[in-house]
């Protein structure tokens, strides 16, 4: 039976990725999130050293979505002491391989726990982030696509559609590309546009069997709570009704926050609370309450801590409103 608490998972390995001095994607991000969730009520449980699956199992799942050459480039760059993988915004250090593999492992193991009914809602405080990583390229601080790996595990195990909701200020071009022609994995992104990485226009809707399962909502710089959250609510209702997903996954980037140095948006903690509430309501309606949320961006540490707390509080609110059930 699923545990009726939000399970917050992390692992010390994810702190070992040490980008160049001054790089915004730093280990303090995860520390800020975990510290911001303390003290915590009975509504959630924090596992700061969650168990990880064997490396071989994680690499096997990575190969479902990523070109083996990319996996070896990341591992080889670290072993050789190189400075970057694929792009200059992806610096590496001695701990990068371990961090990236552990982040992917957290996503895989938690997805398995969800499909096996051991939990219904989880938030993963991990890094490096993942939603820019594509099949054969690392970019945008991302090496492997954590949320996409979780979605693939759930889709294969449940044999039912899943939906990824991405509210990071940057469009998740890697996630979109990985599922562009897939009818069983929906991708919804609300993001600033035009902006890095240049994708995410409203006419990008998928192709082939996946036509219509991608839904982008591009917003101009300066969007506030009503604009950003309102756009997500409407789009989620549209795509959710069509897919009726077995689970909802979240690319939880908090860089649209009004104090974030990179985002250029005006979303507050209340805006993240409102978006999370909409996701929970959608999950209760179509997915028996199943939500797996994965940390992406967010580079103002104080805002990251407070917005993450608002997010987890809403994930935990009224968790008993639906009956737990396994998708398996």
Positions marked catalytic: 132
Q: Tell me if 103 sits within 8 A of 53, measured CB to CB.
A: no
DSSP 8-state symbol, 39? S
**Block residue for tokens 């009956």:** 323
SS3 label, residue 117? coil
CA dist 119 and 32 (Å) reads 24
Q: Could you tell me the CA-to-CA distances from 139 to 47, 244, 293 in Å, in that order?
A: 29, 31, 21
Q: Tell me if 238 sits within 8 A of 282, measured CB to CB.
A: no
Tokens of 76: 């080889």
CA dist 214 and 112 (Å) reads 24
Q: Could you tell me the CA-to-CA distances from 196 to 83, 106, 141, 156, 262 in Å, in that order?
A: 22, 27, 12, 31, 10
Q: Is the peptide bond before 142 cis (omega within 30 degrees of 0)?
A: no
Q: Tell me if 218 sits within 8 A of 191, measured CB to CB.
A: yes
**Percentage helix, strand, coil for the chain under 3-state DSSP, each rounded to 5:** 40, 20, 40
Residue 192 main-chain phi, psi, to 5 deg: -75, 140
User: Max CA-CA distance within the chain?
Assistant: 52
CA dist 274 and 97 (Å) reads 35
Q: Tell me if 164 sits within 8 A of 236, measured CB to CB.
A: no
């Amino acid at each position: 039976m699923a545990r009726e608490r939000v399970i917050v998972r992390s692992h010390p390995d994810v702190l070992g990725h040490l980008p160049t001095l001054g790089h915004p994607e730093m280990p303090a991000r995860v520390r800020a999130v975990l510290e911001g969730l303390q003290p915590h009520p009975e509504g959630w449980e924090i596992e700061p050293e969650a168990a990880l699956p064997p490396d071989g199992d994680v690499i096997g799942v990575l190969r479902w979505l990523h070109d083996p050459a990319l996996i070896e480039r990341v591992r080889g760059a670290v072993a050789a002491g190189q400075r970057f993988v694929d792009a200059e915004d992806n610096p590496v250090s001695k701990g990068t391989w371990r961090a990236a593999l552990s982040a992917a492992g957290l996503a895989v193991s938690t997805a398995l726990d969800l499909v096996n009914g051991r939990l219904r809602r989880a938030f993963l405080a991990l890094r490096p982030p993942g939603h820019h990583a594509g099949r054969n390229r690392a970019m945008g601080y991302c090496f492997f696509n954590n949320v996409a790996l979780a979605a693939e595990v759930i889709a294969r195990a449940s044999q039912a559609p899943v939906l990824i909701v991405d509210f990071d200020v940057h469009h998740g071009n890697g996630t979109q590309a990985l599922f562009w022609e897939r009818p069983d994995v929906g991708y919804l992104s609300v993001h600033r546009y035009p902006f890095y990485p240049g994708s995410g226009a409203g006419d990008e809707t998928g192709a082939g069997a996946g036509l219509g399962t991608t839904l982008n909502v591009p917003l101009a710089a300066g969007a506030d709570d009503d604009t950003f959250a309102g756009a997500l609510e409407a789009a989620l209702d549209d795509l959710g009704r069509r897919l009726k997903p077995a689970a909802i996954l979240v690319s939880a980037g908090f860089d649209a926050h009004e104090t974030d140095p990179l985002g250029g948006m005006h979303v507050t903690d209340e805006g993240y609370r409102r978006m999370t509430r909409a996701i929970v309501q959608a999950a209760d309606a179509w997915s028996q309450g199943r939500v797996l949320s994965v940390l992406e961006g967010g580079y103002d540490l104080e805002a990251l801590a407070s917005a993450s707390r608002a997010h987890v509080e809403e994930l935990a609110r009224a968790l008993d409103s639906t009956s737990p059930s396994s998708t398996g």
